Structure 1
Amino acid sequence: MFQEERLFAIIKYLKENQRISVEQICSLLNVSRDTARRDLVKLEEEKSIVRTRGGAILPSSKHEIKTYSTRLKIVSEEKQIIGKKAASLIYPSDRVILDASTTVQACAEHMENVDCTVITNSINQAEILSINSKMNIQLLGGTLQKEHRFLYGSSVIKRLSQYYADKAFIGIIGISENGLTIAHEEDGFVKRKMMQQAKQVFALADHTKLGVTDFFCFAPLSEIDFLITDQTPADEFMEMLRKQNVELIIADQHEEGEDGNG
């Protein structure tokens, strides 16, 4: 096998599994440790990887945080599939917390007009749900983050501490062994409190968020009960969920209600 083929195979493995060790390269490509190290050096020179102790990971994807309206348009089909599945888990008399993420907004868009209580810091979610006559909506007051359309600050945290909910639905930018991560600390503090005030916590993330670590970690994996996503993750990721007792729900666009348990 030529070096170019080996480098391609290493990058492919990293995209599927997030990290690779020298031993895994040797086993995968049937090469010596010296050859594996030379391949990693080559990939590092090309800025395709970041070398770690004993292996490598992909470089962090540092990108501009898009506005709320722009994010609504990104992987919108996946967001709608996940949102519809999340909405199907909300029942009459439930007290639920919805955060201000775009994937959770998809959940709000699919919620039926049932007698339930919704607590949110999102002006978008409150507006969408306001047409439902049976719903009791509690909009948390605080400082408005204009670009991303959520309310935050000490007043939001204090108000949240007075509520006890059945379920919380939380959107994220990344979920990995490093926990649940997002771009803004102020949003993270609110999400963390939302999780603490609910009996069950559902993290909502399309497949592009799996294995990703963003700027601010607001909670470890062990603090969520369910992950709702649109594609079955790699085996390594599923094993990580199992170790943290997180149940995996795969939102299926063809057969409503079908899921997979991890």
Structure 2
Amino acid sequence: MTFQKRMQKILQIIDELGEVDNRRLADELGVSEITVRRDLARMASDGHIYRTHGGAMKVEQLIKPVSFVNKTAVNIKAKDEICKRAAEEIVEGDIIFIDCGSTAFRLCQFIKNKKIKVITNSLPVVNELNGTAVSLNLIGGEIDQKRQAIHGSIAQEHIARYRASKAFLGIDGISGAGLFAGTESEASNTLAMTKQSSYTYILCDASKVGKETYLKFADLNLINAIITDYSGPETEKFELSGIRVLKSSKFFY
């Protein structure tokens, strides 16, 4: 059976059940669980389904909307290489912040077996890491349905109660002028997390480098390191500002 035929069958099963585990899919398709996992990874990358721990579910079954899924599927190879590099910075016993960015979300797949604590305002991150070796702390407050994240003053009060060894955060843009966000609520959470972290990493694919939105929320000295697939002239500006520039293993731009 070709991948295309297996994909159609998998989509049919998930459409009927909403959520299904790898073993059942393997039995239904008459293939190994290794083949199922490979197929699901490919389908998730294309935004057809959402991977769960041990299976898959319909995108619309999630509390996160399609818009977030579509964001995670953009520049996915670059994001995965960035997050593989980021995972190398995380050691057992670390307490880390992960925000609601689509790149930061891709970090989850590389840290599931690490005995660490993750503090996050991202509902998709909680879904992805629940049931793994990772201990979770979900920030409380108002749910932003569009971003599937928790924002607001209560969220910031929650963040202020904890100290983290590291923070892995996303941004909408970064240039020599500073850090840029799409909304004030996201900027506020980012600022709160950096304040409570000993070391802050920005996870940023090349499409965000040199980009400036209407909202500049901080200077470059807010962060300690940037992990990116970008290798252009902006890199020198970051390094002159005292920021470590960590390159992903592959460049796509």
Q: Scaled by the length of structure 2, what TM-score is found? A: 0.70
1:76 aligns with 2:73: no
Gaps of 5+ in 1: 1-65, 255-262
d(CA) in 2 for partners of 1:238 and 1:248?
A: 7
Aligned residues: 186
1:242 aligns with 2:239: yes
AA of the residue aligned to 2:193? M
Structure 1 stretches of 4+ with a deviation exceeding 3 A read none
Measured after TM superposition, the shift of residue 238 of structure 1 is 2.4
Measured at CA, do residues 112 and 69 of structure 1 come closer, stay the same or move farther in structure 2, by a change above 3 Å?
Answer: closer
Residue among 230, 247, 251 paired with 2:248: 251
Measured after TM superposition, the shift of residue 167 of structure 1 is 0.2
Whether contact under 8 Å (1:175, 1:181) holds in the other structure is: yes
SS of residue paired to 2:246: strand
Residues 117-196 of structure 1 aligned to structure 2 (within 5 Å): 117-132=117-132, 134-196=133-195
Give the equivalent residue in structure 1 for 2:86.
Answer: 86
Measured after TM superposition, the shift of residue 76 of structure 1 is 1.1
SS of residue paired to 1:144: strand
Measured after TM superposition, the shift of residue 95 of structure 1 is 0.5
Gaps of 5+ in 2: 1-65
d(CA) in 2 for partners of 1:100 and 1:239?
A: 28
Measured after TM superposition, the shift of residue 84 of structure 1 is 1.5
Give the equivalent residue in structure 2 for 1:106.
Answer: 106
1:97 aligns with 2:97: yes
Identity of aligned residues (%): 26
Whether contact under 8 Å (2:209, 2:230) holds in the other structure is: no
Whether contact under 8 Å (1:160, 1:194) holds in the other structure is: yes
Root-mean-square deviation (Å): 1.5
d(CA) in 2 for partners of 1:247 and 1:209?
A: 17
Give the equivalent residue in structure 2 for 1:216.
Answer: 215
Q: Scaled by the length of structure 1, what TM-score is found? A: 0.68
SS of residue paired to 2:124: helix
Whether contact under 8 Å (2:179, 2:217) holds in the other structure is: yes
SS of residue paired to 1:211: coil
